[in-house]
Amino acid sequence: MTTPVLALKQITKQFGQGHTAVQALKQADFEIYPGQFVAIIGPSGSGKSTFLTIAAGLQTPTSGQVLLNGTELDSQSEKSRLAFRFNEIGFILQSSNLIPFLTVTEQLKLVDKLAHRSFQKERATTLLSQLALTEVATSYPNELSGGERQRVAIVRALYNDPSVILADEPTASLDTPRSIDVVKRLADEAHQHQKAIVMVTHDQRLIGDCDVVYQIEDGIMTRQK
Amino acid sequence: MYLGLKEMWHEKLRYTLLSGVLLLIALVVFMLAGLANGLSAGNRQAVDVWQARSVYLNKDANQTLTASQLKLTDRDKLSNQPVAPISVLSGTLRTNKNGLKTSISALATSRNSFLMPKVVSGHAINGKHQLLISAALKEKGFHIGQKVRVGTTNRTVKIVGTYAANTYMIAPTAYTDTSTLNWLKSLPITTGKRQSVNGFVTKQATFKNKHHGGLEKLSIATFINKIPGYSAEQLTLNTMIYFLFVIALAIIGIFMFVLTLQKKPLFGVLKVQGIGTNHILAALLTQSIAMALIGIILGLGITVGLAQIMPAGLPFAINWPQFGLYGLALLLASVIGALLSWRTVAKIDPVVALG
Ligand SMILES: Nc1ncnc2c1ncn2[C@@H]1O[C@H](COP(=O)(O)OP(=O)(O)OP(=O)(O)O)[C@@H](O)[C@H]1O
Ligand SMILES: [Mg+2]
């Protein structure tokens, strides 16, 4: 394997100053290669979401470097970071990240509009049926269950064919069989389509398919597997 | 585009209400503009029909026709171009037994002058004590052959012809010759070159020499502006219209700003997905332009509809180029209004979406 798709070097993130300062991440090192499915586990408040947002360029670290395909994210303009986020990163948020006034299918159509291409009907149909969403394709987010919304978010992230998918507890509102399904789906995506997928979870049972597992505790990141 | 329109479709009530507010503003703008035009036309239509370039008045007349006293001989101070005397008498036109009575602006010039209106029925003035009436007076019941009184005297003149309707100082006009009008005004001299007139109208005449002999030259535009009440009315109505543009801007601006504050988390989500400030602003602009267009087009439609059923006495006139311009101004106001949220949108931090 050559360069990692995503590498974080000596990342520290501090919130606030003085007495009230919180060190959410302490000199964290991380790397992921195409075709890898990586899990990050850790208790609540340990810094998992902070890590993902820094990896996606949504927050800048207090110190350290984020490298995407070998180039430093910090050195890029806001505009190219935005384009990069849109093209290369699929983000699945901890809470639902759907647009309330678009139906499930329209969420996908929007992605195509923004990418200046026509609607990829077949791809949409396939992805929706793989995540058992065919029935709700024309529903609005407020008409869906929490699990359905979470799956739509996953479809949306996969739909744009990004090279990296960052998923913050993608199974948080799913029952166990569904959770296992979704994780299988992400693992397939990584292994069969050479995607780099990072999944944050606190459910130990879901990390069986993962190639690499990192543990975060109090901002300190250690590789487990 | 897509985002903006989809949201409007999903939130129909909210956006319909705001379009409704814009519709009302557009309606008031167009109605005020129509009234301003109507009043303007009512004041100046007769002057526009003259197609003249300038008017000469007594320099002490404060640039108003009625206050200007000149003699026919003053015409000799002007170079030898088409120059026509003009006199005016605002008063009532009534039939002998007071059966019909209405306010008019009686205008007088020489019989063969270019100011004399084109007669459409009857004949031009060819003798003493004859009167031409605007078609509007014919509709009120006055007719050719009728003996009528003008002003407060009991002297009667005969209606001999009619011409296309026009008005001066918000009253329908009637035309006669200079002598007849002076006779109706009960002035001592009603013949010859020493008769009184109010001014001279010309297409291109200039002063003969540097000695203007108590005359003052006014462009037609100045002359119209000095019609009593004209500029005050226009200024009042136009000021109201300009304020409405500002109000439209403020309403769109405030509404879009409140919505933007409300939708911060959503915009955060969009930014997380790589949809930037420009896209979000484009959606806001699409929405405000769509609402403005709906409001303007409906407002225009309703204005045109109302104009059809308005009582004839209400001065109202639609001027399409002007209405187009006001429509554009309203559109521009809503674009600027939407852009006021630009900073707020730009400052939204995607991290807020992550909770
Ligand atoms: N914007 C912020 N300002 C101040 N402190 C913050 C901010 N974001 C996160 N923190 C703090 O940083 C630490 C890590 O937060 P983070 O959201 O990364 O935890 P997490 O591992 O994702 O937890 P959970 O499993 O509950 O989602 C917490 O102590 C949190 O309070
Ligand atoms: Mg978290």
| B314-331 tens-digit pLDDT | 889 999 999 999 999 999
Strands A164-168 and A196-201: parallel
Q: From residue B344, give the alpha-carbon distance in Å to each of B248, B264, B284, B290.
A: 20, 9, 12, 22
Residue of A nearest to B267 (CA): A99
Do B21 and B87 fall into the same domain? no
Say if residues B170 and B39 touch (Cβ distance below 8 Å): yes
Do B67 and B199 fall into the same domain? yes
Crossing angle for the helix pair B320-339 and B277-309, to the nearest 10 degrees: 150
Do B205 and B298 fall into the same domain? no
- Residues of chain B with Cβ-Cβ distance to A101 below 8 Å are 6-7, 9-11
A147 residue type, one letter: G
Last residue of a domain, one of B213, B239, B259: B213
Q: How many cross-chain Cβ pairs, A to B, lie less than 8 Å apart?
A: 63
Say if residues A66 and A57 touch (Cβ distance below 8 Å): yes
In a domain? residue A184 = yes
Last residue of a domain, one of B213, B248, B267: B213
| Shortest CA gap B299–chain A (Å) | 29
Would the pLDDT of A131 be above 60?
A: yes
Task: Determine the Cα–Cα distance for residues B150 and B154; give it in Å rounded to an integer.
Answer: 8
| Shortest CA gap A114–chain B (Å) | 8
pLDDT tens column, A74-121: 777 777 777 877 888 888 876 667 888 999 999 999 999 888 899 999
The residue segments making up the domain with residue B337 are 2-43+231-354
Task: Determine the Cα–Cα distance for residues B92 and B150; give it in Å rounded to an integer.
Answer: 6
In a domain? residue B223 = no
In a domain? residue B53 = no
| % chain B with pLDDT above 90 | 72
Question: What would the two tokens of residue B183 be?
Answer: 């006779």
Ligand 1 — pocket residues by CB below 6 A? Answer: A 15-16, 22, 24, 42, 44-50, 94
Do B168 and B70 fall into the same domain? yes
Residue of B nearest to A52 (CA): B354
The residue segments making up the domain with residue A134 are 35-60+77-223
Question: What would the two tokens of residue A100 be?
Answer: 């309330």
Do B277 and B139 fall into the same domain? no
B55 residue type, one letter: V
Distance from the CA of A44 to the center of ligand 1, in angstroms? 8
CATH code, domain carrying A53: 3.40.50.300
Predicted confidence at residue B154, as pLDDT, reads 87
Average per-residue pLDDT in chain A? Answer: 86
Measured in Å, how far apart are chain B's first and last C-alpha atoms? 28
A46 CA: nearest ligand 1 atom: 21
Helix (H) or strand (E) holding A66: strand A63-68
Say if residues A123 and A130 touch (Cβ distance below 8 Å): no
Predicted confidence at residue B210, as pLDDT, reads 66
Phi/psi of residue A106, each to 5°? -65, -30
Would the pLDDT of B62 be above 80?
A: yes
A101·B9 Cβ contact <8 A:
yes
Question: What would the two tokens of residue A13 be?
Answer: 């993130």
Do B125 and B195 fall into the same domain? yes
B274·A59 Cβ contact <8 A:
no
Partners of A168 in the β-ladder:
A200
Residue of A nearest to B265 (CA): A97
Task: Determine the Cα–Cα distance for residues B15 and B247; give it in Å rounded to an integer.
Answer: 18
A106·B276 Cβ contact <8 A:
no
Phi/psi of residue B185, each to 5°? -80, 0
Say if residues A150 and A171 touch (Cβ distance below 8 Å): yes
| Shortest CA gap A36–chain B (Å) | 22
Higher pLDDT: A181 or A125? It is A125
In a domain? residue A133 = yes
Per the confidence metrics, is the pTM higher than 0.90?
A: no
Residue of B nearest to A99 (CA): B266
Average per-residue pLDDT in chain B? Answer: 91
Say if residues B349 and B268 touch (Cβ distance below 8 Å): yes
Phi/psi of residue B90, each to 5°? -90, 125
In a domain? residue A123 = yes
In a domain? residue A19 = no
In a domain? residue A148 = yes
Taking an 8 Å Cβ-Cβ cutoff, which residues of chain B contact chain A? 2-3, 6-7, 9-11, 266, 269-276, 279, 350-351, 353-355
Do B100 and B189 fall into the same domain? yes
The total of structural domains in chain A comes to 1
In a domain? residue A109 = yes
In a domain? residue A17 = no
In a domain? residue A208 = yes
Protein residue with least CA distance to atom 30, ligand 1 = A45
Predicted confidence at residue A161, as pLDDT, reads 86
Interface residue of A76, A77, A85, A169 to substitute, partner B, most B CBs within 10 Å: A85
Predicted confidence at residue A96, as pLDDT, reads 66
Phi/psi of residue B168, each to 5°? -145, 130
Partners of B281 in the β-ladder:
none
Distance from the CA of B290 to the center of ligand 1, in angstroms? 41
Would the pLDDT of A1 be above 60?
A: no
In a domain? residue B49 = no
Predicted confidence at residue A68, as pLDDT, reads 83
The total of structural domains in chain B comes to 2
- Residues of chain A with Cβ-Cβ distance to B7 below 8 Å are 101
Mean pLDDT, to the nearest integer, of B40-48? 93
Count CB-CB contacts under 10 A for residue B348.
Answer: 21
Say if residues B83 and B75 touch (Cβ distance below 8 Å): yes
In a domain? residue B148 = yes
Do B208 and B247 fall into the same domain? no
Would the pLDDT of B147 be above 80?
A: yes
In a domain? residue B224 = no
Per mean pLDDT, which range of A167-171, B85-89, B185-189, B250-254 is the poorest?
A: A167-171
Predicted confidence at residue A147, as pLDDT, reads 80
- Residues of chain B with Cβ-Cβ distance to A58 below 8 Å are 272, 350-351, 354
- Residues of chain A with Cβ-Cβ distance to B10 below 8 Å are 100-102, 140
Task: Determine the Cα–Cα distance for residues A22 and B274; give it in Å rounded to an integer.
Answer: 28
Q: From residue B83, give the alpha-carbon distance in Å to each of B32, B49, B72.
A: 37, 15, 11
Residue B51 DSSP label:
T
